[in-house]
Amino acid sequence: MFGATPAGFVKKSESDILLDLRQNAKLPEFFGENVDLSDGSVVDIFIRLFAKSFAENWEAMESAFYNAYLDTAEGINLDRLAGLIGIIRKTALKEQVIIQFTGSPFTVIPSGFLVQSIRGVVFVTNEELTLSNLGTGSVLAIAQLAGLASRVESNELTEIVTPIAGLDSCNNAEPSGGGGELESDAELRARIRDFVASDDSVGDNIRAKILKDPDIKSCNYVENPYSTVQNGMPEHSLHFLIEGASNLKIAELLFRYKPEGIELVGDISVNYLDSETGQTALIKFSRPQYLDLFFKITIVSKADWILDNIEAIKIAIVKRIGGIYTAPDSTISEFKLSGQSLVTSFEFFKDFQSISGIVDLEILFGSSLIDRTHVSLSVPGGYIGRVNSSNIEVIVT
């Protein structure tokens, strides 16, 4: 049985099609039992020609079948499924950061001025800046390239690409933020599932709606559903930890989706004015902090172990948790461990199954070099876990 079956789509292969066409050619209403089907015969050539074309049609039918379902749809077809519930794939976003300049008083720095890090990450100022009478000033700069590879830590942007008279130095006192990678198919599927299954609580429902916005990179929350103060949170309150978008955009989203009677808490406050109703509200939330993780992996190897496996292990860990892989090129994997997530060493074993030469291994980690003693670790509320590949030690015996 071919086509859509109770077991899924069964594609007819080119060999199946050849068999059918040869059997049909022998029917009395076609060429009859004595038809010449030897290799190179006229009928054989036509049968092979049609079989190849029909096989391509079956490939197209199989693709159409699987692209109609969430678990198997890919690319633009997954985007179209997401669109049915109002979800749009998140595009790659550019990092933003404040740059401080020093130089001669009243020096004019034009809009579009380039600064960069030692590793070549370039940022562009978004408006003209005139230094003060003290020779200082700051301006917003946006990464030249979208994606997390342009994320910089504090004090990285210290190089002036094209010097101008009267300008001495540049620097970023704070790390950049707001950037993000193009949302992958797997991440989009997960967000669709979260949205569909978001009726469990008020917090889940709000979170799912906020995550539909393409500027939001992550959204998590802590809830106090009780009528008494719990862990310092007021009764019936929500504490949202949101990465991405501007403070004003987040305030707009929370204002739109928060029901009456729920108090918002956080260390960021925005006095939001709704342009449609004229209603004002104090919206509170927080930005997540980062918890750096350090790994120590001890491997018992066998004959087919190769040196490249060390880098493969580091890449697998960075992809699993999110963070920075620094060699040979600096690349960043999107952060996946939000506050209150539990990390266990068991999660990594399946990532290493395809790596040859491993007889046994031990995975220990912690929040510092001296703390690498854990096989499980809970990320505190308000934090996002991350790892730098330089903080992953692999010992091979």
**Distance between CA atoms of residues 51 and 45, nearest Å:** 10
Task: Tell me which residue has tokens 């990390």.
Answer: 343
Is 381 in the same domain as 319? Answer: yes
Query: Does residue 219 form part of some domain?
Result: yes
**Distance between CA atoms of residues 94 and 177, nearest Å:** 8
Confidence of residue 131 (pLDDT cuts 50, 70, 90): very high
Is 246 in the same domain as 219? Answer: yes
Domain range for 53:
3-66
For residue 99, what is the enclosing H or E element? strand 96-103
Is 302 in the same domain as 389? Answer: yes
Query: Does residue 43 form part of some domain?
Result: yes
Is 332 in the same domain as 372? Answer: yes
Is the pTM for the entire model greater than 0.85?
no
Is 378 in the same domain as 299? Answer: yes
Share of the chain above pLDDT 70, in %: 93
Last residue of a domain, one of 262, 285, 308: 285
Tens of pLDDT, residue by residue over 200-234, are 567 888 888 898 888 887 788 888 877 888 878 88
Last residue of a domain, one of 285, 318, 345: 285
Is 302 in the same domain as 379? Answer: yes
Tens of pLDDT, residue by residue over 78-98, are 999 988 877 888 888 888 899
Tens of pLDDT, residue by residue over 167-196, are 999 999 999 887 888 888 888 888 888 777
Strands of the sheet containing 383-396, edge to edge, are 331-333, 323-325, 383-396, 289-301, 358-366
Angle at CA of residue 80, ends 78 and 81, nearest 5° = 65
What is the SS3 assignment for 197?
coil
Is 235 in the same domain as 145? Answer: no
Strands (E), 306-366: 323-325, 331-333, 342-344, 358-366
Query: Does residue 12 form part of some domain?
Result: yes
Taking residue 320's Cβ as centre, other Cβ atoms within 10 Å add up to: 17
Strands of the sheet containing 167-171, edge to edge, are 159-160, 114-116, 122-125, 136-143, 96-103, 167-171
Task: Tell me which residue has tokens 């290493």.
Answer: 352
Query: Does residue 77 form part of some domain?
Result: no
Query: For residue 352, what is the DSSP state?
Result: G
Query: Does residue 176 form part of some domain?
Result: no
> Can you read off the two tokens belonging to residue 362?
């031990």
Is 207 in the same domain as 277? Answer: yes
Is 218 in the same domain as 313? Answer: no
Q: What is the pLDDT of residue 329?
A: 47
What's the mean per-residue pLDDT of the chain? 86
For residue 203, what is the enclosing H or E element? helix 202-211
**Distance between CA atoms of residues 352 and 349, nearest Å:** 5
Tens of pLDDT, residue by residue over 301-332, are 888 888 888 888 888 888 877 776 665 544 54
Alpha carbon 157 to its chain centroid, in Å, reads 25
Is 204 in the same domain as 264? Answer: yes
For the CA atoms of 314, 179, 342, 198, the dihedral, rounded to the nearest 10 degrees, stands at -140
Query: Does residue 183 form part of some domain?
Result: no
- Ranked by mean pLDDT, the top range of 27-41, 127-141, 258-272 is 127-141
Is pLDDT of 129 > 90? yes
Is 313 in the same domain as 233? Answer: no
Is 262 in the same domain as 313? Answer: no
Query: Does residue 298 form part of some domain?
Result: yes
Count of domains observed in the chain: 4
Query: Does residue 71 form part of some domain?
Result: no
Confidence of residue 49 (pLDDT cuts 50, 70, 90): very high
**Distance between CA atoms of residues 295 and 367, nearest Å:** 9
Largest CA distance in the chain: 101
Last residue of a domain, one of 21, 45, 66: 66
Confidence of residue 386 (pLDDT cuts 50, 70, 90): confident
